[in-house]
Structure formats: structure tokens, C-alpha cells
């Protein structure tokens, strides 16, 4: 336990026991949740007899967790919440919207579909003042306002999406035991990361394990590298221009980011198996070298989901941990974070839909899932100690310290580019093609679909 505020599993079990009568996981008023604002919300909202319908991508265990959060909305307002999760959410929400049977709210896993629906008039702008609230209360708040703001059918820009659950990609995984034995420190700047890379080679080791293999999706891990490096070499506005093709893919800024990736991936001494192995190594297998004795590689840059592919004996904080993929100190661009996230949008306006948006502004609406595990949030008002484990807490701290957050660029680009030409172009690059040539070919492809 890092502080006295941390809620242990034993404490949560006692709280859950006290709450069984209400069918609530955590008893209202107990634990270090932000109950005061919740109680104020409950006093201001009486929606007895109403039902709020919601659809989204969360199924299985994730549905159970979000349903638990929604029960607190019901307890506060008297309104029932009917959430339905679907593995084919993207198709289902379009069909229901066109048929006039859309739920009150939809949870979008990517901004692109929400933007498309907003432009078609299938989304309703969020209540007045929500954009200002997000800017003031989310870490890197203006980033979240930008990501949730779209052009409506009237040609005006409005905030249509409120982000809720977030994923972090700007992480470097390493083995603390191997680092300690070699005497390596965690780098705090990109300059220090590059120096560490060279030191490991000088000591006879291999710094990086990188794998781009992913079946038909081979190449996507490299796009994450390039996106992270774009945020470290360019202003956020340039990143946005790139995503929207307002600057061409072969702009010097983009080529520079690709070549920064090449500094790590195209040097035989820097990557396990040499540069040629990068394109053929499956991304799920690539971190295995961290756990070899002696290590086959010392670092692996990948998103928060990668522990699912670690060996069974991997133990967070013991033989594996992570640090923030650092910014370039001389560029003075703050602490940018690359990631993804889900956002709530109103697809069928109602008093209950507006009330749910207000509920999702409460710290407790985030803390209640934080305490269940498998959840990160950019909400600046939450108690970070309520994260279910140290790994999530550390990632939450990275989010809380972000000066800029940007969504995965390839997910925002047209699928023929983000899930096609960009992927294959990165494979061509790591196998020897020049960055400028690859970037020009991707831009030619983009021009052809306009």
C-alpha cells in the first residue's frame, strides 16, 4: 500500500458485504470514493419511472462491471438503466439509428464512427457547458474536447462525445531484475532512452525486442511507434493535420517521425534477431526476450494490453514493469500520451440521457470501475489510490500527468490507409525501403480514395 487512502481487497470485500442489501458493490458513504458530489447529484435528480437505454462494445466481465456502475445511477435517480453490449456494436448502432430505434446513449470505441453519425444528424450535441467542464476537469482536457468535437449537419462544430474509459499506448516494458543486475536506470527523456540503448549495446546486450507480425494486420505495431514519435517531434496540431491529411503523408514532419522509428528498428545491434527479424516476428511473441536469462532484449514498447501475452511466470513489479515512453527534452513538447478510449454520445435525446452525462462527470462514476479493475480514466478529480492494482495506478498517473493526449492515428484515418497502406508501408520500411519513398506511396494511395 502506497498511502493510507488505498482501498485494500479486504476493505472492499467488507464494503461489498455491507452493500448487498442494495445490490451495490460498494456501500454508499463508505470507502474513499467521492460520495459528496454523488449525494448532491442524487438530491438534484429524480427520474423515478424512467428508463435510460444504452448500447456499447462491453460484453462479458466488462458488462458486469459497467452494469455495477450504472446501478449507482439508478440508486441516485430512480431511473432504470438498460445496457446491452454487442461484439458488432459498430454495425448495430448504425442499423438502429437508421431504423429510428436507437438507444438513448451509445458508447463508441473510436471517434471516427461517432463523427460520421454526428455529421449525419444521428447524434445530439452534449448539454451546454460540457466542453468547458471537460477542458477544466480532464488531464490534457483540451485534447479530449478536440477528440469529442465534430461537425454537425448544420456545419457547426459541437461537443458530441464524453470520454470515459481510456487505454494508454505510450509505455515501455522492461524486466526490473535485468535492469538492476546491469545497473541501468529508468530513462526520463528520449535523449536518455537513446543513450541507454547505446549503453546496452556497448555492454554486449540487445536493447529492444520489436515484432510487427500480426497475420493480415502485420505492420500495425510500427504505426504506434510512428504515432508516438510524431507527438514527440511535432506540435499536437501537426499530428492532427497529419491524421486529417491536411499535410501530406510525405511531409518532412512525418518522414522525420518514421526515421526516428528507424533509429531503433533498423539497426541490427539494437533489435533482437537483427533488423530483418522485426517484420517477421509476431508481436505476441516479441516480448518473450525480456524474460530470458540472460535477457535476449531489455525493452519492449507496447500498449497496456501486452501483458496478456507474457509468460505465465511474469509478475508485475517483480520480473516485469513499465515506464513512460519519454518525450524529447530539447523539443519542449510536454508529456504527450498516445492511446485510445471509449466515448458516450447521445443517440436518442431524453431527460435521462442528459442526466447520465452529468453522472459520468462525477469522479465516483469513474472510481467505481477503477476499484473493480481493468479501467483507466483521464478524469482529474478521481482518487488514484482507488485503482485496483499498482500497474493500473501507475498508468493512471501517466494519464494524469499528460499535457497532450491523442488517439491512435491509424484508427482515425480511412481504413484503406490506417489499416492498410500505413501497415504495409511500415513493413516495407523496416525491410529496407526509404522513409520518403514509403511515405509518398502511402500518400498516393490516400489521394486515390478521395
CATH number listed for the domain at residues 171-328+413-448: 3.40.190.10
Q: What is the pLDDT of residue 445?
A: 97
Count Cβ atoms below 10 Å from residue 403 Cβ, excluding itself: 15
Extract the residue ranges of the chain whose pLDDT is less than 70. 1-22, 450
**Which residue reads 501483458 in cell numbers?**
307
Q: What is the pLDDT of residue 23?
A: 82
Q: Are strands 149-151 and 336-346 parallel, antiparallel or unpaired?
A: unpaired
Tell me if 9-168+339-407 shares its fold with 171-328+413-448.
Answer: yes
Please say whether the beta carbons of 189 and 309 come within 8 A.
no
| β-strand partners of 379 | 138
How far is residue 443's CA from residue 445's CA, in Å, rounded to a whole number?
5
CATH number for domain 9-168+339-407, candidates 2.60.120.260, 3.40.190.10, 1.10.620.20, 3.40.50.180? 3.40.190.10
- Classify the phi-psi angles of 274: left when phi > 0, otherwise alpha if psi is within -120 to 50, otherwise beta: left
How far is residue 302's CA from residue 52's CA, in Å, rounded to a whole number?
37
Contacts 24+ apart (CB under 8 A), 269-272: 269/201, 269/206, 270/197, 270/201, 270/206, 270/207, 270/208, 271/206, 271/207, 271/208, 271/209, 271/210, 271/297, 272/206, 272/208, 272/209, 272/210, 272/296, 272/297
Integer CA distances (angstroms), 74 to 23, 47, 60, 371, in order: 11, 9, 21, 19
| pTM exceeds 0.95 for this model | no
pLDDT by residue (tens digit) across 126-178? 999 999 999 999 999 999 999 999 999 999 999 999 999 999 999 999 999 99
Cell of 200: 546496452
Helices (H), 20-172: 35-44, 60-77, 89-98, 111-119, 130-137, 141-148
**Which residue reads 476499484 in cell numbers?**
371
How far is residue 112's CA from residue 93's CA, in Å, rounded to a whole number?
13
How far is residue 432's CA from residue 279's CA, in Å, rounded to a whole number?
11
Integer CA distances (angstroms), 190 to 104, 197, 326, 333, 442, in order: 45, 10, 5, 12, 27
Residue-range domain boundaries for the chain: 9-168+339-407, 171-328+413-448
Sequence length of the chain is: 450
- Residue 85 in 3-state DSSP? strand
- Classify the phi-psi angles of 129: left when phi > 0, otherwise alpha if psi is within -120 to 50, otherwise beta: left
Q: What is the pLDDT of residue 110?
A: 83
pLDDT by residue (tens digit) across 263-322? 999 999 999 999 999 999 999 999 999 999 999 999 999 999 999 999 999 999 999 999
- Please classify residue 356 by burial: count the beta carbons closer than 10 Å to its beta carbon, then call 0-12 exposed, 13-18 middle and 19+ buried: buried
How far is residue 272's CA from residue 286's CA, in Å, rounded to a whole number?
9
- Rounded-to-10 torsion of CA 150, 303, 275, 192: 100
Q: What is the pLDDT of residue 9?
A: 37
Helices (H), 209-350: 220-233, 236-243, 252-265, 275-280
- Residue 187 in 3-state DSSP? coil
- Residue 163 in 3-state DSSP? strand
Any residues with CB less than 8 A from the CB of 284 and at least 6 apart, and which?
211, 214, 309
H or E element that contains 108? strand 105-108
- Report which of 13, 2, 19 is spatially closest to residue 371, judged by C-alpha positions: 13
How far is residue 26's CA from residue 42's CA, in Å, rounded to a whole number?
16
**Which residue reads 440521457 in cell numbers?**
353
DSSP collapsed to 3 states, 317-366: CCCEEEEECCCCHHHCCCCEEEEEEEEEEECCCCHHHHHHHHHHCCHHHH
- Please classify residue 9 by burial: count the beta carbons closer than 10 Å to its beta carbon, then call 0-12 exposed, 13-18 middle and 19+ buried: exposed
How far is residue 250's CA from residue 242's CA, in Å, rounded to a whole number?
10
Please say whether the beta carbons of 165 and 342 come within 8 A.
yes
- Classify the phi-psi angles of 158: left when phi > 0, otherwise alpha if psi is within -120 to 50, otherwise beta: beta
Amino acid at each position: 500500500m502506497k498511502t493510507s487512502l488505498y482501498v485494500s481487497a479486504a476493505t472492499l470485500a467488507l464494503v461489498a458485504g455491507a452493500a448487498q442489501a442494495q445490490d451495490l458493490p460498494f456501500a454508499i458513504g463508505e470507502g474513499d470514493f467521492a460520495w459528496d458530489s454523488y449525494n448532491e447529484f442524487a438530491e438534484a435528480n429524480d427520474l423515478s419511472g424512467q428508463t435510460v437505454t444504452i448500447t456499447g462494445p462491453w460484453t462479458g466481465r466488462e458488462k458486469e462491471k459497467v452494469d455495477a456502475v450504472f446501478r449507482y445511477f439508478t440508486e441516485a435517480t430512480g431511473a432504470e438503466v438498460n445496457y446491452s453490449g454487442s461484439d458488432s456494436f459498430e454495425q448495430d448502432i448504425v442499423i438502429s439509428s437508421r431504423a429510428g430505434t436507437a438507444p438513448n446513449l451509445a458508447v463508441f470505441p473510436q471517434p471516427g464512427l461517432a463523427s460520421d453519425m454526428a455529421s449525419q444528424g444521428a447524434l445530439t450535441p452534449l448539454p451546454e457547458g460540457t466542453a468547458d467542464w471537460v477542458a477544466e476537469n480532464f488531464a490534457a482536457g483540451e485534447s479530449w474536447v478536440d477528440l469529442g468535437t465534430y461537425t454537425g449537419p448544420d456545419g457547426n462544430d459541437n461537443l458530441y462525445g464524453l470520454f470515459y474509459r481510456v487505454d494508454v499506448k505510450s509505455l515501455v516494458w522492461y524486466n526490473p531484475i535485468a535492469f538492476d543486475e546491469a545497473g541501468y536506470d529508468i530513462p526520463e527523456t528520449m535523449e536518455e532512452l537513446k543513450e541507454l540503448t547505446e549503453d546496452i549495446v556497448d555492454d554486449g546486450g540487445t536493447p529492444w525486442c520489436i515484432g510487427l507480425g500480426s497475420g493480415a494486420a502485420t505492420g500495425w505495431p510500427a504505426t504506434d511507434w510512428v504515432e508516438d514519435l510524431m507527438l514527440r517531434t511535432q506540435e499536437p496540431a501537426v499530428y492532427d493535420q497529419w491524421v486529417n491529411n491536411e499535410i501530406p503523408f510525405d511531409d518532412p514532419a512525418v518522414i522525420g517521425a518514421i526515421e526516428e522509428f528507424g533509429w531503433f528498428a533498423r539497426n541490427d545491434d539494437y533489435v533482437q534477431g537483427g533488423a530483418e527479424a522485426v517484420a517477421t516476428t509476431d508481436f505476441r511473441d516479441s516480448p518473450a526476450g525480456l524474460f530470458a536469462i540472460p535477457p535476449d532484449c531489455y525493452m519492449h514498447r507496447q500498449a497496456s494490453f501486452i501483458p496478456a501475452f507474457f509468460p505465465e511466470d511474469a509478475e508485475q513489479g517483480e520480473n516485469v514493469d513499465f515506464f513512460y515512453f519519454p518525450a524529447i527534452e530539447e523539443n519542449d513538447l510536454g508529456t504527450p500520451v498516445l492511446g485510445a478510449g471509449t466515448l458516450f454520445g447521445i443517440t436518442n435525446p431524453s431527460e435521462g440521457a442528459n442526466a447520465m452525462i452529468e453522472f459520468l462527470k462525477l469522479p465516483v462514476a469513474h472510481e467505481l470501475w477503477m476499484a473493480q479493475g481493468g479501467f483507466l480514466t483521464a478524469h482529474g478529480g478521481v482518487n488514484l489510490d482507488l485503482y485496483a492494482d499498482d500497474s493500473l495506478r501507475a498508468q493512471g498517473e501517466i494519464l494524469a500527468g499528460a499535457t497532450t493526449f491523442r488517439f491512435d492515428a491509424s484508427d482515425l484515418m480511412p481504413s484503406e490507409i490506417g489499416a492498410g497502406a500505413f501497415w504495409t508501408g511500415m513493413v516495407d520500411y523496416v525491410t529496407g525501403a526509404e522513409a520518403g519513398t514509403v511515405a509518398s506511396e502511402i500518400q498516393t494511395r490516400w489521394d486515390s480514395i478521395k
